[in-house]
Amino acid sequence: MSNREVVVLSVGGVRFVTRASTLQQFPESRLARMLNDDDQEFKLVNGEFFVDRDGTLFSYIMDFLRTLQVSLPTDFSDYQRLQREAEFYGLYPLADLLSQEHLLKPKLEILEVRFSLQEMQAFFRIFGSCSATVETLAEQISVFMGQQSGQSWNSPFPSQKPLVLLPLERPSHHDMVFQCGTDYSAGDQFVARYVSIKPDNRKLINGTNVLGLLLDTLLKDGFRLISTRTVSGEDKVECFSFERVKRPAGLAL
């Protein structure tokens, strides 16, 4: 049997077809010994090995044998049962990986956008539970400043004068602060701040437009809007709360 190239298994009524070399990844496992007729738990019936175990969980075991890593669905919850199945088959490296359940479970990521309008300026504050996500978003957002004459909040295009790139305010690794719009300087001069969010190349000065682009960017990145509320206070800050299920990378040997 050890020389047989293609092996068919019926596990709990679910049929699997694989190569013998896949089952022999771990020579000390019961699946490898099965090919040499060294384990009575596996019955050969009409050319197929019959195993009275959970066929659905065995599909994850086959995936591990083929890839040597554990990659489970986002909604997977049977970690202990799968670990018991791995131990039954003698796949102790897989059982050890499954014992690190906290690394395999998907994590819920929360992100909050606070937005307020004050005359001709808009103020933004973004807070995220995952600092890496906030860092990535900070790399997408650019704020430019320029001094202009006779232009206002609704000016659709920046002036031809060179704009200066401003650093984003980062109070911590988990949040960022920026603003856009215009503010009076002297005479008919305006100090204007524009915001650009990659991959969109536009430089936007209108706060409502920036907010729309920001929310659209988050939705395209897999976030889901879960609530919108107005925070009490004179500034009437609007708060948009998002969540995203972050699937961990598969654990590998």
**38-52, 58-72, 151-165: range with lowest mean pLDDT:** 151-165
The predicted structure's pLDDT at residue 141: 97
> Distance between CA atoms of 8 and 40, rounded to whole angstroms?
17
The predicted structure's pLDDT at residue 169: 94
pLDDT tens readout for residues 134-191:
999 999 999 999 876 655 545 555 555 688 999 999 999 999 999 999 886 655 677 8
Sheet of 48-51: strand order equals: 14-19, 6-11, 48-51, 43-45
Percent of the chain with pLDDT over 90: 64
Average pLDDT for 69-80: 86
Domain for residue 11, yes or no? yes
Which residues, 6 or more positions from 7, have their beta carbon under 8 angstroms from its beta carbon?
Answer: 17, 18, 19, 20, 23, 35, 49
Greater confidence (171 vs 39) lies with 171
The predicted structure's pLDDT at residue 108: 87
Residues 96 and 118 in one domain: no
The predicted structure's pLDDT at residue 153: 47
Residues 138 and 49 in one domain: no
- Are 87 and 61 in contact by the 8 Å Cβ rule? The answer is no
Residues 12 and 71 in one domain: yes
- Two tokens at 243? 């969540």
The predicted structure's pLDDT at residue 95: 94
Residues 168 and 216 in one domain: yes
Residues 77 and 145 in one domain: no
**27-41, 86-100, 121-135: range with lowest mean pLDDT:** 27-41
Residues 80 and 125 in one domain: no
> Distance between CA atoms of 228 and 241, rounded to whole angstroms?
6
Average pLDDT for 27-40: 86
- Going by pLDDT thresholds of 50, 70 and 90, the confidence category of residue 71 is confident
The predicted structure's pLDDT at residue 159: 52
Domain for residue 95, yes or no? yes
Q: What angle do CA 130, 132, 133 make, to 5 degrees?
A: 70
- b/e per residue, 130-161, with b = 16+ CB within 10 A? beebbeebbeebbbbebebeebebebeebeee
- Two tokens at 9? 């298994």
Collapsed DSSP state (helix, strand, coil) of residue 168: coil
Residues 142 and 236 in one domain: yes
The predicted structure's pLDDT at residue 1: 43
The amino acid at 230: T
The predicted structure's pLDDT at residue 107: 82
Domain for residue 35, yes or no? yes
The predicted structure's pLDDT at residue 160: 53
Residue 75 reports pLDDT greater than 90: no
Domain for residue 1, yes or no? no
Sign of the torsion formed by the C-alpha atoms of 61, 95, 66 and 29: negative
Alpha helices (runs of H) in the chain, residue ranges in sequence order: 20-23, 30-34, 55-67, 79-88, 92-98, 101-104, 131-140, 207-220
> Distance between CA atoms of 39 and 31, rounded to whole angstroms?
9
The predicted structure's pLDDT at residue 41: 80
Count of structural domains, the chain: 2
Average pLDDT of the residues of the chain: 87
pLDDT tens readout for residues 194-238:
999 999 989 999 999 999 999 999 999 999 999 999 886 666 899
The predicted structure's pLDDT at residue 225: 96
Which structural domain range is residue 58 located in?
A: 6-104
Check which CATH number belongs to the domain holding 59 and give it. 3.30.710.10
Domain for residue 252, yes or no? no
